Structure 1
């Protein structure tokens, strides 16, 4: 029996860890032995010099263990491997070189900087809005750091002819264009099996507990409460809808954003302020907290609408979007590139409508008058949990 190792943040509460667990289960069901080399984020993300040395030793220990496997897959999100760019690059190089049969999954392989943001920052300077311009510049600088890390990592993968897995055709095309490299394989994130049976039981219990009537329409938002997911826009949109429309936010603050002695996360606080100042949405927004994976899927399948009002942040794949597109009745998603790319690969989805990023009026009207996109074509390839597992097994044991 083939023995494969996956390097990931398996034991931490994050999207990467969740995806890794799903991937491992499907690979094991395909008849291979799979083990996770779990990254210790307390070590790898520290900027303390003595802890960074321990993190390097932690990576060296993983590398030694990887030599004993028939194949290896490395789940690459830069922040899992360090905080300082030099640490990230050094550690990934070591891991990639530890076993000759290695594949690397690039979850956010941004290679092109956002020129539109740069132009807008210049406009703000010309209008003497210096604070806004500085904030935009610093935000763009942080994104540029991620881009430079991606470029260095991908150059190393190309040099060593490593099997690369990405989630979108756009990512594949960019890597091919910039690096003249074709050993790239595309598979969208898949979380839910095609034969998965959902249950309304948990949703019915919630409706009873929260006194939700039969006339009420429940809108769900799912996943960690991060700014790019558009909760503030959702609250603004809710004020444009009839009072029987209610918003339930299923998720928690991302553990990586929890800070010592911070009374309340600044983004969650801003949402609370928005709700308290807007009488039309008071008692219509519910922070539901975190649910286990099975309940999460069942809730996504049970609510009347799912909102995905994401802003553009360079992300290629979304596990939340994958789940909702596969099980939800009505999904309203923004015009971000991540969704464009998902529908390029899986054009047969017929349960969604799109709206422009930030356009709360469009989101409100399309919620009231939901008209799903028509299926324009059927994809040549079927993407499933099984096809995902097969790809990882093939590329990790070549």
Structure 2
């Protein structure tokens, strides 16, 4: 077993410029699509919510009875589909992706913010667990099947919470009324007005694979992108596509210092989520206690660390003040530690231990190792692709 204390920090914060390598999508029928031209044309959303529409008192709980909600077990991040998209990219490029770590952004975000998640408003269990596999000179990280299964059982057995369900729905409703299926210039007045009657679902996703990293460690992350702020660049300008993406969120309107502190914690996590893959803009919809949308605010991702640092409300010495730079240095130490400790052919359980303020990397059993290499994390298809296909040297 190897341990990384929460006090660990990387000596450098030199970042690698994020670059999108590929995209894919999940449609309303829960099918994954890998034709990039089709995905960019038919499965990208565009932001549209003028301030003038806020005066109508938009009810973010409207239509909840018709919510097309994906079953919990189907909404776990599908790492196998991410590997298919990666395999397709490698086939097209005729080379293995040149990275050290391959993971979903959601997992990496939890690791990055773990040093502050043990305080108030803790979003995690005391010991969040994910799986790690060393294969082909790379470290693969994904949700742990046993941990996620127990989490789903807890959610199913918990007493119904109608207000919490409405709050969850309000986020998807906000995404629905704040986006269009086509750029504004191609959208009719009728289509614009129909956004409010559109049935809400959480099946549809536009997903990307982004290469990034810190110092000398390169990372490929899979992530969902909510929408495009202005336009989708043409093929010629597609290298800058990350500059056009937006992250959409909702939160309670801020009326007290306590609510301000709660929002700061939420904004910090959103910053980490966007920062990890290079999304530069965040849009928050603020709803009141009756779930009516009151205001919409946009933030530049790069300005959030300064906003948090200079927030005059957060002066309580009892709480650990979140610090984006410290989280970044902690993230760098995680990557270095994993690269050093994970061996090819072995699998591990990676545990966030809030009680002991540390990460633990525990060796998986032989049975767990076999399961993680036969569908739980890596798939036989992907392993065969890597083992049986001749490749050129990775690109630098």
**TM-score by shorter chain over 0.5:** no
* TM-score, with length taken from structure 1: 0.24
Higher helix share: 1
- Judging by fraction of residues, say which structure has more strand: 2
Larger relative contact order (CA 8 Å, sep ≥ 6): 2
